[in-house]
Amino acid sequence: MRRRVLVTGGAGFIGSHLCERLLDDGHEVVCMDNLFTGQRRNISHLLESPRFEFTRHDVAEPFHVEVDQIYHLACPASPTHYQRNPVRTIRISVQGTLNTLELARETGARLFVASTSEVYGDPEVHPQPEGYWGHVNPVGIRACYDEGKRCAEALAVSFARQYGVEIRLGRIFNTYGPRMQENDGRVVSNFTVQALRGEPLTVYGDGSQTRSLCYVDDLVDAIVRFMRTETDAEPVNLGNPQETTVEQIAREIRRLAGSSSELVFRPLPEDDPTRRRPDISRAGALFGWEPKIDLEDGLRRTIAEFSSRTAREEASPGA
Ligand code: NAD
Ligand code: UDP
């Protein structure tokens, strides 16, 4: 069934892949983004479709669009970006989610809310099931993002309880793939850019902290399937349980990029979680999902896209 779907944050990394998938599935897509961390080039190929519209708007300001479904992703996601203006980050999470929930209430649209594994903070339970309440420093440098998202979750479940708004709360774990910004400071984009340029790979701390990296196509598939599922307002972890140390990620990217860059060790940022791995049994039980793309395959695809992007930019700078 063709639907009219709003994707907030649709010009960002995950959002642009989601817009693409929704168009492929035959829907009409309204992409709302203020291009804070997103880019026009992520969606320029979609603008040719008569079923795609782009609206430049800040979700923290009021808006109204007639839609049947909403995917709410608007929020800077990388520590570099969300820590630069922490007040703005909380405002986007809280006011932006409130505005989006009001729209869902007015239109009766089902709403996917992009939450994060960061709601678990530096977890004392491993792997993390949805029933774990987390271990977050409420006054640390990550608090603007972590607590902002925790508040967004609380808002969403309150709208579900009080007004019957249909929410799908997805806790997204570290996701990577083509179209990550080269300079957004995240681990895969940093190491890939550094390996391709022959620069040292900057491992923070001793590199023994872990992350579980999910390829973006797998994540988008999970989000779309979750949205089709008839369920209640329970949060669901969305991520790949293949856990890797940061040093292993550096070595793997260096190998796959055919690079001879050295690894250099830099101070660990404050409150950097020690380990992170999703328990995805709820997603499996609810909508039969598990990721298909392993780390090597996903990194190969990512490195190939970064490499061709760099080549294009060198051929026509500023395009
Ligand atoms: P991204 O920074 O590439 O995308 C975010 C998008 O939101 C950008 O296009 C940005 O311009 C837009 N945006 C930011 N503030 C806005 C505002 N006020 N109004 C309108 N648009 C705004 O990040 P991403 O990795 O694609 O993340 C998308 C969502 O997924 C975010 O909500 C993030 O918190 C969540 N998430 C991502 C990851 C990950 O590993 N990538 C992990 C957990 C959660
Ligand atoms: N990291 C690193 N070098 C970098 C960028 C990140 O060692 O150049 C580490 C970072 O300290 C963290 C992990 O990689 O332990 C993942 O960082 P990212 O910013 O991608 O995501 P998050 O910390 O939000 O999970």
Ligand nearest to the CA of 186: 2
Residue 154 dihedral angles phi and psi, to the nearest 5°: -65, -40
pTM: 0.97
Give the integer Cα–Cα distance in Å for 12 and 15: 5
pLDDT at 316: 75
- Binding site membership of 116 for ligand 2 (Cβ less than 6 Å): no
pLDDT in tens, 188-239: 999 999 999 999 999 999 999 999 999 999 999 999 999 999 998 899 999 9
Ligand nearest to the CA of 100: 1
> Is residue 245 within 8 Å of 275, Cβ to Cβ?
no
- Binding site membership of 174 for ligand 2 (Cβ less than 6 Å): yes
Give, using CA atoms, the residue closest to atom 1 of ligand 2: 187
Atom from ligand 2 closest to the CA of residue 80: 19
Give the integer Cα–Cα distance in Å for 71 and 60: 15
Give the integer Cα–Cα distance in Å for 298 and 218: 10
Q: State the pairing for strand pair 167-172/110-116.
A: parallel
pLDDT at 318: 57
pLDDT in tens, 99-129: 999 999 999 999 999 999 999 999 999 999 9
ipTM score of complex: 0.99
> Is residue 42 within 8 Å of 181, Cβ to Cβ?
no
Could you give the 3-state DSSP secondary structure of residue 103?
Answer: helix
Concerning whether 145 is annotated as a catalytic residue, the answer is yes
Give, using CA atoms, the residue closest to atom 14 of ligand 1: 75
